[in-house]
Structures are given as C-alpha cells and as structure tokens.
Structure 1
Amino acid sequence: MFRKKNNTQESEEHHHESKVKELKAAIGPLYGRSLQYCSDACLKRYLEARNWNVDKAKKMLEETLKWRSTYRPEEIRWNEIAVEGETGKLFRAGFHDRHGRTVLILRPGMQNTASIDNQMRHLVYLIENAILNLPEGQEQMAWLIDFTGWSLSTSVPIRSARETINILQNHYPERLAIAFLYNPPRIFEAFWKVVKYFLDAKTFQKVKFVYPKNKDSVEVMSSYFDEENLPTEFGGKATLHYDHEEFSKLMIQDDSKSATLWGFDDKLQRVGNGHSGAEVAPEPAS
C-alpha cells in the first residue's frame, strides 16, 4: 500500500513538472525582472490556481507580468506609503504560524486615510514584504483580521475590498494560506454578503470565521497558531504592540534587502510616491 501511494505521489510530481515545462515553453523568452519573477515555484503557483490548466495559467501569468511592469510593486518604498501605517491598520507580525508562514495583521477599524490608491500600494508593499520574509521552503502567508472598532460607517468601501481581492487572487495566487476573521460584529454579515461574491472558490475556502465562544472555530485557529505567540486580540496570550517608528526602521532595512534581491541600487529609487469554507457564519448565541 505504501509503495502504491509513493508511486502515485511520484507520478503526480512528474505530471506537475511536465506542466511547468509546458507553461514555460508557452510563455516564451523572458528577460530582466520578468525572468527573475517566473521561477519554477512561481509557475507552479499559477498552475495550481488554475487547476493545472496551462492555457488559463498562461493567461493569468501574462496579466500579472503586465501589471507588474506598470505597477512596479518591487519598487514601492516604505517612505512613500509610511503614512498609511501610522495607526497599525496593516503590518507584518513579529511571529510566524505553526508552519513558519509570515503573518500579516489587519485591523480595518483603524483606517486612517481616504486614498484607495495609496491604501492599495500599502497593501501591495506589505504583501511583497511578507514574501520577502518567508523562510526557505515556505511560500505562503497567513492573515489575521481584527474587527475591533469596525463598523459599517468606518468600513473600507466595496471598491477597496474588491481591489484587495483582485490583487491577492490574480497577482499573488496561492500566496495566501489562510485568513482568519476574528470575532466580526453581526453587522459585518451585510458587508460579507457582498464581498464574498468577489472571491473565487479557492480563496473562499481559505477564509475562516472565528468566534471566541465557538469551540470549533477556536480549535481551527489553534491548529495554525501557538497561543503563546498569538496576541490576546485573537484569543492568545501575547501582547500586541505596534510601534510605528520601530516598524518603519524594520521596513527601511527590508527595502535594502529587496533592492539587492531585485538587482537595483535602492538609492536611485524615487522618493514620495483542509477545513470548510467561509459561508456566512453569524456569531453563535451565548
């Protein structure tokens, strides 16, 4: 039985490798940053996102390469979008999940700006930074979303939510492993009923609602995080402390790492610019 399973795994790996080669040939010659971006691991993510359909993966990847050539996410620098991070509405956590994934903490109730374009640049910057800080052998990140202070009047516009999902799904496929929505208020249901239709099936399965009084949802979260690392805002024992000045120093250091990775002089950069899916899950009665 073990031999049979092993042979099946080997056959699947061989199939995936052949698909990567097929996609590589379909794309044709690449140069510069596009060549650097399109590693075998990258091609696998696009194939995975499109159920190993080469034509669909090729179309998706080409759209991303076009987006990256104009948006230039690897060139965004912290000093361009630092104002977006002043309240700590989105930042990279100082801990990983049980699988070594980078963790991004989102606190939508702490929104502090009005420009959706700048908010999206801030999001893209932090996604790129999360990827930059992934340990070797790990390619995905986890999101923890804290709804403290959230209300319909202070929530992000639907356009912003849709653009966030578009960027994540279409230009960073298979980068999100899990997203925990922790203790959203009942009123969030109205917002979720609209937003969920922007999610594809794969992303939908990765979104989990967690309520402190719901044992099953808490256990799902515990399977991903050690409570000693998890902040109290998410049911853990750690203290969540965001220091904008210290985080800025960290990001500036990472900007240099990113410049080295992509092969350009940072000084020349411009300055100034397995569980069930998340169907609507209302909070259980106490």
Structure 2
Amino acid sequence: MGSSHQEAIKQIHLLMEEVDEPLEHTFWNMHQGYPTETLVRFLKARDWNVSKAHKMLVDCLQWRIQSEIDNILMKPIIPIDLYRAVRDSQLLGLSGYSKEGLPVIAVGVGLSTFDKASVNYYVQSHIQMNEYRDRVVLPSATQKHGRYIGTCIKILDMTGLKLSALNQIKLMTVISTIDDLNYPEKTETYYIVNAPYIFSACWKVVKPLLQERTRKKIQVLRGCGRDELLKVMDYASLPHFCRKEGSGSSRHYGNGLAHNCFSLDHAFHQELYNYIKQQAVLREPVSPIKQGSFHVRFPEPDPEEANIAKTIESEFQKFENQNGLAKSLNDLRVNGA
C-alpha cells in the first residue's frame, strides 16, 4: 500500500474520531474490532478520495441508526412458514468456504421469484444475511485462520433466467443499492455460472458500463463452472448447482433439501434462524416475539446504478420483442403450411 493510501487512512481515522457516540457505537458493530480494514473498504469504494469516503461512511452509519440495523438480528421473520416461503423464493445461502477461508455465498439469480412475501421481508432477509456474515461468519473465519478475513466469494447461478426477471429488477436494484452504499467491497470475486443466451447478450452491453474495479471482480465461467471453482474451493463447498459436470459427480450429491444451500433445511440457514430467535429472546425474554416485517429505509440508487438497471431492462425488452417477432413469423409459416 503506497504512502498516499496510508495518508488517506490516517486522515479518515482522524475524521472518524470526531463522530458522536451513536455513530461510534454502530461503527463498532460494523468493524467488529477491525476499524482500519473497514475504513479501507469505504476508501476503495470512493477511489481513495477521503472526503467522499468519509461522507459515504457517515451516510451509512446514519442509515444504520435510522433503520435500526444494529437490532435486525433480533427480529426473526415469523411464523416459520413465512420464512420458508422467503427462502424458497429468494435463493441465497452459504455453501462453504474457499481454500483461503473466504465464505462462499451462493445466489440463485435466475430462479428467485420474490413473489411469496412483501418487499420489506425480502430486504429484511437480505440484510440479516449481510449482518450475520459480518458479525458472526467472518469473525469466526478470522479467528479460525488467525488472520483477518473480511470478504466473501459469490457464485451467481443464472439457471432459469427469463424475461419475467424484468418484474424483479426494481427489488434487485434496491438490494444492490443497499449493498453498494452500506456494505461496499465485501465481495472478493463474483463467479457467474449456468448463463443462458439472454444473460450473455445482456452482459455484452452492461459490462462496459461497470467501473473497472467491479469488472475485474466478475468472472463468467463456462457451464456450471465446476472445474474452475475447484481451483479455489473443495468439492464440499461447491453449491449444489455447480456439481453437475464430471464423471461421478452424482455420487457426491444427494437430492435432499439439506444439500441445497438455498433451503431452510440447510445447516447454515438453520444456524442463522436459530441465532436470530435466540437474540430476540435475549433482548426481550418476557415479551412474545412480534410478527411483522422490519422496515428499512431504501436508499436512492446512484446514477450509475440506475443507468445499469435501465440498460438491463432495455436489453430484456429488446430480447422479448425479438422473441415475439420470431414467434409470429413461425406461426405464419405454420398456418401457411
């Protein structure tokens, strides 16, 4: 790290010494004993501009206070059937760890439907995953390996990606904006697998719009990406949707829900849900746990994020129009015959 970066870290440390107690408290919940590493994430997200990084961090801390993010791991989504419905339609889970000890987060982009609960429940669930990762999973990995581990790997499964995904762009933009503004630089690498033609066509248009820092993190793998991913993680940590290629793979992969890292029956989700219920009881041991979603203030997407969302929507629309025209021509041929 160069001297200019060291100076930037020093400056932002000094600025953070001036924040009031509520901001300082929620900042501790963020950094979990690693303030410098957290400050570096915000500096990277703003290209090492100290004033912009400081503003981004203060805005994040104020968002955490206003939205009571420090308490979100005390707010289980109940009843359990509702949470199971969320898990079945918001495909997200931890499948294991890389060879370097980084958590492997699997995301079912193509098959997530987000149609079993309100938007607030999906946002609540996503933020709970983020907070559990940052407050429990990453500190445990750091302790286990004896060195700081503050990032994860994400594997995005595009299986089943369809034009109907247009209906989900608004919600996905909300979630993406929350991550970009409040959990920056938490992902080391994005691996995209099982990409259909519609993704490949869209990616060609979207890729140039991304910042170089983001583009470098994204790797589009062939097929389910099994062989490439085995270079960075063991077979046991592969998400279930990456275990299709190669002889003998079916012998290692069962069909039970416990093997599906998206399912509530998976060990990770059982641990997460039990943790949240325990935290709720510790906070209010006498009062019954209340139902209802945890409302979070949705931040406005920055212009770049909004532009990318519009581009994706436009490309999907073009694809839909082309498909519609092809179907019409095919119908004419069939009827003409």
- Both proteins in one fold, TM over 0.5: yes
Q: Residue 43 and residue 86 in structure 1: after superposition, are their counterparts in 2 closer, same or farther (change >3 A)?
A: same
Write the distance in 2 (CA, Å) between the matches of 1:124 and 1:197.
29
Does 1:233 pair with 2:249? no
* Residue aligning to 2:292: 272
Q: Which amino acid aligns with 1:265?
A: R
Write the distance in 1 (CA, Å) between the matches of 2:290 and 2:205.
38
> Higher helix proportion, which one?
2
SS at match of 2:25: helix
Larger radius of gyration: 2
**Per-residue deviation, 1:14:** 4.8
Write the distance in 2 (CA, Å) between the matches of 1:170 and 1:200.
15
* Residue aligning to 2:93: 91
Q: How big is each residue's C-alpha offset from its partner over 1:165-209, in whole Å with a ceiling of 9 and x where there is no partner?
A: 212221101111111110210112354467657754423321211
**Per-residue deviation, 1:259:** 7.1
Q: How big is each residue's C-alpha offset from its partner over 1:202-251, in whole Å with a ceiling of 9 and x where there is no partner?
A: 233212111139xxx77653442223532452257553434424555312
Q: Residue 152 and residue 255 in structure 1: after superposition, are their counterparts in 2 closer, same or farther (change >3 A)?
A: same
Alignment of 1:155-234 (within 5 A): 157-192=168-203, 199-212=210-223, 221-231=229-239, 233-234=241-242
Q: How big is each residue's C-alpha offset from its partner over 1:17-46, in whole Å with a ceiling of 9 and x where there is no partner?
A: 523423424x53333632423633322221
* Residue aligning to 1:79: 77
- State the structure with bigger RCO (CA 8 A, min sep 6), 1 or 2: 2
Does 1:111 pair with 2:112? yes
Write the distance in 1 (CA, Å) between the matches of 2:198 and 2:206.
14
Q: Which amino acid aligns with 2:180?
A: Q
Does 1:244 pair with 2:264? yes
Write the distance in 2 (CA, Å) between the matches of 1:148 and 1:87.
14
* Residue aligning to 1:151: 162
Q: Number of residue pairs matched? A: 258
Gaps of 5+ in 1: 1-8, 274-286
* Residue aligning to 1:21: 13
- Work out whether residues 226 and 242 of structure 2, in 8 Å CA contact, stay in contact via their aligned partners in 1: no
Q: Which amino acid aligns with 2:186?
A: R
SS at match of 2:156: strand
Q: How big is each residue's C-alpha offset from its partner over 1:106-163, in whole Å with a ceiling of 9 and x where there is no partner?
A: 1133324333333222222212222221111100111111222221224662222322
**Per-residue deviation, 1:271:** 3.6
SS at match of 2:154: strand
Q: Which amino acid aligns with 2:44?
A: E
Could you tell me the TM-score, scaled by structure 1's length? 0.74
Write the distance in 2 (CA, Å) between the matches of 1:196 and 1:119.
27
- Work out whether residues 151 and 188 of structure 1, in 8 Å CA contact, stay in contact via their aligned partners in 2: no
Gaps of 5+ in 2: 143-147, 254-258, 294-337
Write the distance in 2 (CA, Å) between the matches of 1:103 and 1:142.
5
Q: How big is each residue's C-alpha offset from its partner over 1:70-103, in whole Å with a ceiling of 9 and x where there is no partner?
A: 233343334257231135611222x101221122
The alignment yields a C-alpha RMSD, in angstroms, of 3.5
* Residue aligning to 1:281: none
Which residue among 4, 11, 30 is the counterpart of 2:21?
Answer: 30
